[in-house]
Structure 1
């Protein structure tokens, strides 16, 4: 089964009611300065704590929220009211669709958002190896906290979870949020269409942006782009809420309380927010995603963590540095995959890291056209070293190709195609005139001249 087959299979699945995590983060980062207004909402705390049990509180590590950095696990769970009412999912513990580990530094007024692939393969002890998003379904919030704390190597102090329905409510309660949509999105699986450019999104539109994966099938890992857009919308919500009046804040927290589960109380939230006042979302929020590669194991696709790169990233985060040394922007789609804000880049903590390339967003199909055993796998390794992590290797329709060819789809990809050719020693680079049939951004056919 190729990556292409996997993508098609996922497109055929029944639309998932993907849970969004942005609201949980907003609660933690942004609410404040309106303590008197919230005095009328004594029942809100009970709503927020519904589902918080002693096991979860035991899994969390206490910290001084006003005086030292701490981590919050933000999770979106596919448990919308429509899904809960469905007989198909009756009685289910829902898997988390969005996982974000957040470091909050109240002294420096900085926030770091690190998204974690939901399909990351981890060892869950007595439960064996599973995708990391299964932790919530297996043991609820407490087991999710324990699993992700072990995986990231940090203590987690607080937890916030939101379902599908709450996302629309919070954005609409704010009167929409202003977002510069990186590229046009036309994704029925995500709920519709969005034009590119700066615009004010309502709840439904923001949800489309945060759900969309298949709009990026020609660019690379759809989950990475979706997570990047979720962080983009989160920053927009934070910016809007920070500039809102007391009435809007009160309306927002009221809308929020029915859809969020968190160990934080109202006074906790207000205290954090008051400490974080002055945070500039454009410069004081760092973001990135866990570095992984995709592997097909036992008829299932998993994300396999680059352990050394992950350790380096989390070491930087724990030091208060941005997760990456520089911004990572996909030039083809304009999506910001990693942001360093205005923070210090700092030295890399990894000694002797073997890769100096920036992760590429394009997808590449490698086809063995010479019959040399292992040629396709070797070419794929070279491309991964170049920064391409969405490479599909297989055989061509025959082994009679004399020369290695690099084919690109779009006119603007010529320079990138030449870079691929240089890395592989290919002698021919051409724009596809319809001769070649492929769905990826680039096609490489290895000929007899392959070395």
Structure 2
């Protein structure tokens, strides 16, 4: 099988490329979208004509680090995969008109104040993450942590900040789960991100 693959990259280049994907969560960090088109039938052939304005709007969202669609309902491929179909079936069967069984605190929100602390060895990591969070809708500031940390954490102060912490965690990806402040972090900011050496 290896003999069938040809590339102009050497081993070091391949390893470097692979390292850039470290910590990527394919469930939250990889987005897909279908180019908006209008179907036209001409001369016994179907053509898909790009809706340029809608496509530009979609790409503007992607450039900001946002999903291609403003809502799941806009995705024409929604429910196509087995995973989507299973989730939809389960959700529709278990949901009620009043939304019973779903907690508002379990739904991520993309707003609120966030402090990003760089506890990794990578210079500028906090600034980059803060910019990503700002593009997502948060009010984010960057600073340097007092000590190095090996793992990345998302800390929230109070139950009211949990939904924002979930939104931050989904934006970061990498499987980071928000945790309530145990008293070891600052309490003057709703959400605190500590960038550790595992991902940054």
The alignment's TM-score, normalised by the length of structure 2, stands at 0.44
Richer in strand (by share): 1
- Please say which structure displays the higher CA radius of gyration: 1
Q: Which has the higher contact order (CA 8 A, sep 6+)?
A: 2
The alignment's TM-score, normalised by the length of structure 1, stands at 0.21
